[in-house]
């Protein structure tokens, strides 16, 4: 019995390191939920949250489509005036770094974006009689994202990313840097 156990241990430790996880395979799909801060690491200045669907291709890269809500707060006297953006995006991510055990991946992605922006939810008159001159508007632009994925299992992934968004048409700041974290669930 001891000989069988020892043989099993020897085989186990010689075979297991050669096995690789089933990750980034062609046709795999994932649903990603992210949230984070806008322009600084202080959540009082603004936040964002989003949901993204991605599908991997045979080169271990992925396509993605997603929806994101972003809110920045602008100080005026003792009031925070919200600037809200609702955006849709579609893009492509290239994997350029991974560990041999396929537990950590780093990707860079570019995406096209379009959406709608509202400043103070279209309430123009403030409490002291001042008027907001910014209008609600449609926007379009692009985003560049650097993303790190850490696989907890074959189905659950922790995400950390930094994004730079450039949206033309915004009346309050065209560039925004987003710091985010989230989780991805691999569907199939």
Helix (H) or strand (E) holding 11: helix 2-15
Q: How far, in whole angstroms, is CA 4 from its chain's centroid?
A: 49
pLDDT digits over 121-178, tens only? 666 666 666 666 667 789 999 999 999 999 998 889 999 999 999 998 877 778 889 9
pLDDT of residue 42: 72
CB 120 within 8 A of CB 81: yes
Long-range Cβ contact pairs of 65-69 (< 8 A, separation 24 or more): 65/89, 65/90, 66/32, 66/90, 66/111
Domains of the chain, first to last: 22-186 (2.40.160.20)
**What whole-number distance in Å separates Cα of residue 49 and Cα of residue 39?**
14
DSSP summary character for residue 131: B
Length of the chain measured in residues: 188
pLDDT digits over 57-68, tens only? 888 789 999 999
Global pTM exceeds 0.75: yes
pLDDT of residue 125: 61
């Amino acid at each position: 019995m001891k000989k069988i156990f020892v043989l099993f241990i020897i085989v186990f430790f010689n075979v297991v390191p050669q096995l690789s996880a089933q990750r980034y395979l062609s046709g795999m799909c994932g649903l990603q939920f992210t949230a984070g801060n806008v322009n600084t690491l202080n959540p009082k200045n603004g936040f964002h949250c989003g949901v993204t669907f991605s599908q991997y291709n045979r080169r271990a890269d992925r396509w993605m489509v997603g929806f994101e809500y972003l809110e920045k707060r602008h100080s005026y006297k003792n009031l925070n005036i919200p600037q809200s953006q609702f955006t849709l995006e579609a893009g492509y991510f290239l994997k350029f770094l991974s560990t041999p055990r396929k537990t950590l991946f780093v990707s860079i992605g570019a995406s096209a974006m379009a959406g709608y922006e509202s400043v103070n939810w279209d309430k123009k008159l403030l409490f002291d009689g001042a008027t907001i001159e910014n209008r609600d508007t449609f926007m379009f632009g692009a985003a560049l994202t650097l993303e790190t994925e850490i696989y907890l299992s074959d189905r659950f992934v922790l995400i950390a990313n930094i994004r730079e968004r450039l949206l033309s048409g915004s009346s309050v700041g065209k560039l925004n840097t987003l710091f985010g974290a989230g989780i991805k669930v691999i569907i199939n």
